[in-house]
Structure 1
Amino acid sequence: MAHIDLGVDETEFPGIIGPMRYRPETAKPLNELAEVLLRAPHSMPPGERELIAAYVSGLNECTFCCGSHSAFAAAQLDQGMTLVDQVHADLDGAPVSPKLRSLLRIAGAVQSGGRNVTTAMVQDARAEGATDVEIHDTVLIAAAFCMFNRYVDGLGTLAPRDPDAYTQVAKQIVEFGYGQVPSRAAG
């Protein structure tokens, strides 16, 4: 049970969905930020940007955000959940492009502390073909997901253990995006 009464059935509105229903006026800008960072036109495909969000959420041990954004990434990557699981298990051995691996390393550094991003990491990302916009947005995705993870876990919200719960929501996110507060969880 969440630390505060969110006024919703947590089984219907798990994770971040409950707090967003509780405070729609704060949900709106948070959803707009997620939409811009993860789905707006960009040189990086949405699946790769969702993978960054999932990777950071995994490092933060945020069950809800890691589960949901892993499903959202998998739904948009050709290699699906197999690739997502490989990145979570062993970034260095995962079959991702050198550019994406360098960006994920930057995201991991942000997760442990923004000052952990080094000039060498940025130079490596550039050498692998990352643009300044991609580096900027990787840092912002990682920073934003540290905030989202702490929002979800700081309120003690419910995180479904069944991966299918996240797969159902992934279909909605891929089709409709983050543009509105969900009226209820899929499933």
Structure 2
Amino acid sequence: MPHITLGSDAPGIRGLFEFRPETARPLNALVETLLRGDNTLSRGERELIAAYVSALNECRFCYSSHAAFAAAQLPQGMTLVEQVRRDPATAPIPAKLRALLDIAAAVQRGGREVGEQEVAAALAEGATDLEIHDTVLIAAAFCMFNRYVDGLATVAPDDPDGYAAVAQWILSEGYVAEPPKVEAAARP
């Protein structure tokens, strides 16, 4: 049960966005740019970074949402997402992505935790300055989103099919379009 009266049964961040649409617009625009805009990292890889940080923060709603969004865009699907969640060091991902996930984990612990060693490792694996920048910003933004969702005790549905359904909608419509009105049990 959310800490405040949202006036909506929409789960997670969707309920918060319905409560304050004037803050939802710029936050959705940021996520649209970070996770779907032009980039040398695939959309699936960027969603994977968001999901990984959300898992580190133990934010069930954000992890479930972005894990489904990543899985829908990665050939290895949810199997890979779960392998990364458990241990990126042993997950079958490119070394560059592994190094970027190390940077994301450092950001999750605290911005000053990102050091020259993590950046040098990512550069050595072929990461660009833009990819490092965006990884830091995705990780920082998702720390904020995770705290927003959990700080107000929003509802996180248990049904993975609901997250998968919204993933298909996000893939086709993006983050800035108004989501369809569906039952709370089916929406992340």
After TM superposition, the score normalised by the length of structure 1 is 0.96
Partner of 2:158: 161
Aligned residue for 2:44, secondary structure, equals helix
One-letter identity of the residue aligned with 1:3: H
Q: Is the 8 A contact 1:54 1:66 kept in 2?
A: yes
Instruction: Give CA deviations for 1:94-121 in whole Å, capped at 9, x if unaligned.
Output: 0000000000000000001011111011
Deviation at 1:168, TM superposition (A): 0.7
One-letter identity of the residue aligned with 1:73: A
Deviation at 1:90, TM superposition (A): 1.2
- Please point out which of 118, 121, 128 is paired with 1:121: 118
Deviation at 1:180, TM superposition (A): 2.9
Partner of 1:17: 14
Tell me how far apart the structure 1 counterparts of residues 161 and 58 of structure 2 sit (CA, whole Å): 19
1:80 is aligned to 2:91: no
Partner of 1:146: 143
Gapped regions of structure 2 (runs ≥ 5):
none
Deviation at 1:184, TM superposition (A): 2.6
Number of aligned residue pairs: give it.
184
CA RMSD of aligned residues (A): 1.0
Moved more, 172-181 or 145-154: 172-181
1:130 is aligned to 2:130: no
Deviation at 1:41, TM superposition (A): 1.1
After TM superposition, the score normalised by the length of structure 2 is 0.96
Instruction: Give CA deviations for 1:134-182 in whole Å, capped at 9, x if unaligned.
Output: 0000000000000000000011000011111110110010110001342
Question: Percent of pairs identical after alignment?
Answer: 64
- Please point out which of 148, 165, 174 is paired with 2:171: 174
One-letter identity of the residue aligned with 1:99: K
1:17-96 to structure 2, matched below 5 A, reads 17-96=14-93
